[in-house]
Structure 1
Amino acid sequence: MRQRRFAFTNAANIAASAATAMALACLVPLGSAQAQDYPSKPIRLVIPFAAGGPTDTLGRGFAQQLSQVLKQQVYVDNKGGAGGGIGVDIVAKAPPDGYTIALGTNGPLAGNTALFKSIPYDPVKDLAPVARVAFVPNVIAVHPSIPAKTLAELIEFLKANPDKYSFASGGNGTTSHLGGEALKLATHTRMTHVPYKGDGPALVDAIGGQVPIIIASVTATAPYVQAGNLRALAVTSRTRSPNLPDVPTVEQAANLPGYEFAAWYGVVAPAATPPAIVKRLADATLQVIGSQHMADKLLSIGGQGAPMGSAEFGAFIKTEVPRWSRIIKQVGATAD
């Protein structure tokens, strides 16, 4: 009896252990199983700006290549407004399953926290960083009537003529505006900011000499530099632009270490997206960035690849939010 009772108890324990193990086996690999099956349906890539701009141009080329790498359709959905905030907020509130992602910029992912009175999402807490993709610099250029041939000469010219000259930008709170304000602060110069609704109208007045100093995107400005309508003095990135390879950086041209005010682009997902899916997206994104197709697409908008994985990109955003906020608050910039 004792032996049979022991055998029955032992068998019951074994059965209970097996049931527990099976239950755990069903629960533990759920995220891994999701990642293995991912993606099993089309992915929505939200572009938080209107169609036709540089973010849209980059995003469409990126979506096409990402579709090939993931072997699943990635389609673009333009949701512009509020400096990119509307589109990014849609992604922040989307189901965290990897099927709604965004190609964001330094605006909605960093600067908007200070540029707007309030935004409905936290770029650090409400989003999962997937990967940084690229950056696009601006160029500081002058009308030929300005005697400065270098950025250092322009700085000395402005110091000798405080508040007598203006600089044009593509709008309040843009990288061109904030880059100009940062240059003023770093060099103790004074010039008036004249915001325009985009680089196009700003360039018209710069070429006409009405606003003889301009900070605008490399691609928009380069044709007028090459035609002799404007003189390029420096690019606002840490490295030279392949679109204007003979033009030095601000750091090189004016001995301003660390100066960098370039637009950057990165992919984000909802905060609770499973890490395995984030990694799958990050690996695919980094593969796309390394392709010749994307190099050509970036060159067409004056950009350069600047790949960062998820962890590095997340740390980068955490440093960018206070950096952009600091300059925005210093100059008192607000959204249009």
Structure 2
Amino acid sequence: MPGDGDDVLFRSAGGAMKRATAVLAAVAFCALAGGAAAQSYPARPVRILVGFAAGGPTDVIARIVAQDMTGSLGQSFVVENRPGANAIIATEAVARSAPDGYTLLFSSLSLLVNAILLEGKVHYDPFKDFAPVSNAAVLPMVVVTSPETRINSMQDLIALARAKPGELSYATSGNGGSTHLAGAMLENATGTKMINVPFKGNGPALAEVMAGRVTFMFYPIVGIADQVSARKLRVLAVGTPRPHADFPAVPTLEQSGLPGFEETAPWVGMLAPAGTPAPAVDRLARDMRKSLAGRETQERMKALGAVTVADTPSEFAAFLKKDYERWARVIKTSGVKAE
């Protein structure tokens, strides 16, 4: 009967409306809950694990950010150093941590390089086990040699390497580190063969370069101005997109005919365990960007030689993917091996 059909239609429409209303209410509730979670996070102190010893670039930048975020978020952000195994110990610890935003990792390219060099031997996946928060900064590198050498430019260095294959050497802070990978990348880019001389850290490596026992090295731009002024070091090129303020007369690697080397600059960034609620990740990223935009923090970063990045979680994730692919190619082509 028409009346029955109208009634069925009414009931059906009414049910649909109720379901739609319920769905909208649920969405609104989730949005409010997410907003409330973002506002209430953090409700207790937050640990930031660093896989390197205190005083290194990763540790120093982590402490700068932690100090600022402690002030802005109203809870203590405590840096905890867990050095060892090229940061694998700290990285695996965070990968296993509860995804609640209260255990974070401040890491560097070791996150990716360890996974490439030690595939199947490290107990984490750099993409599946972490939620990127923000890339804090990059630390550009310079190419340095002893003034006692007759090498005055990258062109001189490359010409000598081609004339004497397998004789020139470059110092590194250890196998698989940024200085080693940059040296391997230089060999690939120029078709040369040189000797990697690994040391336990940048300091001992630089000392051997200044003494003239190793030909050159890629070195983080931090803290070499005094040695250059004292003519204990010569800077051949800077790994920045434009000439660096500390060495304005020194050409960039790109100006020296080696494009792309600014991308070899070691990065320092924050990650959370995978599954950490998006509101917490977004809150961390937002406050980290706020921290890095502050004038005092900018001055402290500049003193370190660091270039601030302060990107979003999605931008950092895209950067990590690109960086992984780049170093995987370099490692495969050059035959770099883990220690």
TM-score computed with the length of structure 1 as normaliser: 0.88
**Residue 259 of structure 1 corresponds to which residue in structure 2?**
261
Cα deviation, 1:265-300, whole Å, max 9, x if unaligned, reads 111111111111111111101111111222222223
CA distance in 2, matches of 1:49, 1:36: 32
Question: CA RMSD for the aligned pairs?
Answer: 2.4
Q: Which deviates the most, 276-285 or 222-231?
A: 222-231
Say if 2:234 is the partner of 1:193: no
- Map 1:1-336 → 2, pairs under 5 A: 24=26, 29-108=32-111, 110-117=112-119, 118-253=121-256, 255-260=257-262, 261-336=264-339
Opposite residue 183 of structure 2, the aligned amino acid is: G
Opposite residue 97 of structure 1, the aligned amino acid is: D
Cα deviation, 1:141-186, whole Å, max 9, x if unaligned, reads 1112322211122211221222222111111111111101111110
State whether residues 114 and 329 of structure 1, in contact with CA within 8 Å, keep that contact through their aligned partners in structure 2. no
Give SS of 1:36's match: helix
Give SS of 1:219's match: coil
Cα deviation, 1:187-228, whole Å, max 9, x if unaligned, reads 112221111111111122111111121222222433222211
State whether residues 137 and 241 of structure 1, in contact with CA within 8 Å, keep that contact through their aligned partners in structure 2. no
CA distance in 1, matches of 2:24, 2:239: 58
Cα deviation, 1:20-75, whole Å, max 9, x if unaligned, reads 78994766643332212111111111112121211111111111011112122111
Q: Which deviates the most, 256-265 or 267-276?
A: 256-265
CA distance in 2, matches of 1:308, 1:28: 24
Q: Which deviates the most, 280-289 or 86-95?
A: 86-95
CA distance in 1, matches of 2:240, 2:180: 14
Number of residue equivalences: 322
Give SS of 1:201's match: helix
Opposite residue 326 of structure 1, the aligned amino acid is: R
CA distance in 2, matches of 1:45, 1:120: 19
Give SS of 1:250's match: coil
TM-score computed with the length of structure 2 as normaliser: 0.87
| Pair 1:243–1:103, CA change in 2 (3 A) | farther
State whether residues 188 and 333 of structure 2, in contact with CA within 8 Å, keep that contact through their aligned partners in structure 1. no
Percent of residue pairs bearing the same amino acid type: 37
Opposite residue 307 of structure 1, the aligned amino acid is: A
| Pair 1:298–1:245, CA change in 2 (3 A) | farther
Cα deviation, 1:220-275, whole Å, max 9, x if unaligned, reads 4332222111210012343444443432221112x222223110011111111111
| Pair 1:115–1:193, CA change in 2 (3 A) | same
Structure 2 unmatched runs, 5+: 1-10
CA distance in 2, matches of 1:232, 1:226: 11
After TM superposition, give the deviation of residue 330 of structure 1 in Å.
Answer: 2.1
| Pair 1:69–1:242, CA change in 2 (3 A) | farther
State whether residues 199 and 220 of structure 1, in contact with CA within 8 Å, keep that contact through their aligned partners in structure 2. no
After TM superposition, give the deviation of residue 81 of structure 1 in Å.
Answer: 1.8
CA distance in 1, matches of 2:110, 2:38: 30
State whether residues 58 and 297 of structure 1, in contact with CA within 8 Å, keep that contact through their aligned partners in structure 2. no
CA distance in 2, matches of 1:99, 1:82: 24
